[in-house]
Chains A and B, each alone.
Chain A
């Protein structure tokens, strides 16, 4: 008798725990009284007061880790935007090739990973307004293959290193494979560049700004051609959370208008002119 009652109680407790765990905690957030003049914005985040941001954190100068802290253009920008909404940023590491489905599925609130706004991605996430204009770059190891001076020199027998899930990979597949090159895919960008430095691949196609940053650490690498693909970066949000997207767009516009964007931009891209659409009004 005692064991039967005990078992019944355990069963009930267990089911209660399951039910409790299944309910996500979502509570509406009011922005703190910060320095913003915007009207109170209603939005929800997975955890109250916290903006969980998914990123690869291996992509300088946009997002990387130095001495235990997250640094980078994306990092500073989104932390500034979040603080204006009264949110603290919590960084979540994720693989790039599944990061969009992850945010769409509610694994985190936002993606800040130097992500290009594309039509395919727009079908599963909501992007913020563009916050950076980018191009692709063809990076070559000038010690191993000094004869490759541009895209036209890539041909039969050349191996192009790309990162899985990136627009660089898509571009290389569309433009270099017809020229006879072969594609080798890596999970992360640093691996592709390391292989290039070691002479394993002939070239790497990756976003220009981070390529420029990464090759300063590896010997013999050079950007031989910048490829204009009219790409713009955006922060990605779950399509189920349009209020958050709206709120972030508003603070992004403010950050640009009052000159903070320019400040952050010049911190990471010194000597480069801020594009007119991102200059303070």
Chain B
């Protein structure tokens, strides 16, 4: 492992023990101090300013403006900037004279953190002094105007998740079937699967939604609305789910096909030589290995689908069926305030970031034991 990345951690510097001169020891310790100053500068310039601004309250929006303009915020910002400048000066001046590699890295890290603190701090300072924080905060961070819409946003987030999850799960099932067909030896079996996959990958999702809704539901009167007990879904909603399943199915089919075909022929041959039939070989030898390879791209598709659910905008949705983006859009068209979009962004991030994090964790677990390029 490259030494540099370890150098900044708080473990005792073993290289230091080899040094004779106390002057050199003192120099090396000062590097840790420079790092500390750098960390302090960015924490204050960014974190401190944020906390001080929010400490004044979020509702109504004027409180945020006051918080931003208040003296404590100014003090914290200036201290942060000052510390950042100090870190830059000391760090870049002294790093060459550091005795150990670790202390050199600490010195540079401190200086870089100082640069980040100064840049962020200057942006905030300029915005605060010369910009129009009042108008900006009123239009984008107006928590007051969002009051009362919290329920709608939660419902919206739920709908986004439902649409994405059902689309992905259904798509996986459809995709697996399609992949099997697409890999058949018989061309007559392969061809329709190919046509389906190319069609759904070749046309825009928004077009597919339009055609299925306006063409089939409204035009031909095929309305798959669901009214079973507590579950009441309009045909727009069910059509959206169906289209997402069909669309994701096409992409998933390609992922499965590529994943299965990436398993070495040798595996299949070995399984066959043990007496398994072709389906048995697939089921016990090839597919379990392929699963490892297809899960990352499938989960990637899921994260993309979460955002694609916003396309249901073009369908006629009932109030309880609006997803995150349409909720924001309705709020915006009623009030002409973009804070709704900020809230939607937060909502989407709240859904996608944990999903991405879960995907990464799953990927690491799947790869444990395998020795690949990334190791």
Contact = CB atoms under 8 A, between A and B. Distances in A.
Interface of A is mostly: mixed
B316 A161 contact: yes
Nearest to A125: B336
A135 interface: no
A195 B314 CA distance: 13
Contact of B316 (A98, A101, A170, A201): A201
Given A120-B335, A124-B336, A200 B218 contact: yes
A21 B316 CA distance: 39
Given A97-B333, A101-B336, A191-B214, A200 B235 contact: yes
Contact of B221 (A98, A101, A184, A198): A198
A123 interface: yes
Given A191-B316, A199-B221, A201-B316, A185 B330 contact: yes
Contact of A184 (B218, B219, B318): B318
Nearest to B326: A185
A195 B218 contact: yes
B63 interface: no
B256 to A, nearest CB: 35
Interface in B320-361: 322, 326, 329-330, 332-336
Given A97-B329, A187-B314, A200-B218, A182 B319 contact: yes
B81 to A, nearest CB: 27
Among A187, A197, A201, max chain B CB count under 10 A is at: A187
Interface residues of A, number: 28
Contacts, number: 67
B285 interface: no
A194 B215 CA distance: 11
Given A198-B217, A198-B221, A184 B333 contact: no
Contacts of B217: 198, 200
A100 B336 contact: yes
A268 interface: no
Interface string B187-217: 0000000000000000000000000001001
A195 B215 CA distance: 11
A186 B330 CA distance: 11
Interface string A102-141: 0000000000000000001101100000000000000000
A164 interface: yes
30 contacts: A97-B330, A120-B334, A120-B335, A121-B336, A124-B336, A159-B234, A159-B318, A161-B316, A164-B329, A164-B330, A165-B334, A182-B319, A183-B318, A184-B234, A184-B236, A185-B322, A186-B315, A186-B316, A187-B313, A191-B214, A192-B316, A194-B214, A195-B218, A198-B217, A198-B219, A199-B221, A199-B223, A200-B223, A200-B235, A200-B316
Interface of A: 97-98, 100-101, 120-121, 123-124, 159, 161, 164-165, 170, 182-187, 191-192, 194-195, 197-201
